[in-house]
Amino acid sequence: MTLPRTPSFSLTGKRALVTGATSGIGEACAVALAEAGAHVTLVARTADAVQKQVEAFQVQGWAATALPLDISDIAATEAAVADHGPFDILVNSAGLARHAPAVDTTESDYDTVTDLNVKAAYFLTRAVAKGLIAAGKSGSLINISSQMAHVGGIDRAVYCATKHALEGMTKSMAIEWGPHKIRVNTICPTFIRTPLGQQTLDIPERRAWIESKIKLGRVGEVEDIMGATTFLASDAAALITGTSLLIDGGWTAG
């Protein structure tokens, strides 16, 4: 009798590009990929910060390279991906939020959030895909979205709009690039205890609202994202594309 075997979660021999890689979810994703054997190119805007991160990885015996880059600079991003790629794996964790009541949203805040969360994500994902297509390689492209891509949130009209857009972009790209064996998915976390997330968690009434929505009764930790990242990047997820992996403690189930 021949029994099936679980596809490999190993990323040995793979090259990964991770943005927002010096803190929070991006850092955790980069660690997860490195632990699984990938050579990880760490991207952040600050050269000193990303170099220190590379040194910390190397101390652990992980393969890592620094790439200081502001992905909202589309031309620079496309050039960097072309020069340093092709990358088998992309995790785009760069993003920001400027929360405010919808009636108080400024045009400047709208443009800043949209330019990074949607426009930069679009052209970064496209650049990595173009490199894979030119090289005739398959790949796994992962955008860090949010549970707020599936629901609404207080003071989050702009942020929700960008994450809903990211979901539509992901599905369309997955359809177009499926014939090239390039998979495109999102990870959608709930509130995660990061320096950015802590700003909301430090407000008692918001913390109470959040915990009332999360059915498992706790906010997320960056470690909750790591296994999902490795899974989607690996051959274990070979038939998964155009979808969202919700890591929300049951928020959207209700």
Active-site choice (159, 177, 191, 251): 159
Q: Nearest CA to 210 among 196, 229, 193? A: 193
- Does residue 4 sit within a domain? no
Within a domain: residue 8? no
Residue type at 169 in one-letter notation: M
Q: Assess if residue 235 is contained within a domain.
A: yes
User: What per-residue confidence (pLDDT) applies to 254?
Assistant: 83
**Tens-place pLDDT, residues 183-222:** 999 999 999 998 777 878 888 888 888 889 999 999 999 9
Distance separating alpha carbons of residues 222 and 217, to the nearest angstrom: 16
For the ranges 51-55, 100-104, 171-175, which has the lowest average pLDDT?
100-104
Q: Structure pTM?
A: 0.95
Mean pLDDT of the chain: 95
In one letter, which amino acid is 251?
A: W
Q: What is the CATH number of the domain that holds 131?
A: 3.40.50.720
Residue 83: pLDDT band with limits 50, 70, 90: very high
Q: What 8-state DSSP symbol labels residue 152?
A: -
Question: Residue 60: inside a domain, yes or no?
Answer: yes
Query: Is 151 part of any domain?
Result: yes
Domain limits for position 179: 15-247
Share of the chain above pLDDT 90, in %: 88
Our answer to whether residue 122 is catalytic in this structure is: no
Count of domains observed in the chain: 1
CA-to-CA separations, 202 to 55, 86, 107, 185, 198, in angstroms, rounded:
32, 41, 27, 31, 6
Cα–chain center distance at 113: 16
User: Is there a domain that residue 141 lies in?
Assistant: yes
Is 252 within the bounds of a domain?
no
Q: Is 29 exposed, middle or buried (0-12, 13-18, 19+ CB in 10 A)?
A: buried
3-state SS class at 165: helix
Instruction: Answer whether residue 175 shows pLDDT above 80.
Output: yes
Q: Which pLDDT belongs to residue 201? A: 86
Structural domain includes residue 21:
yes
Confidence of residue 96 (pLDDT cuts 50, 70, 90): confident
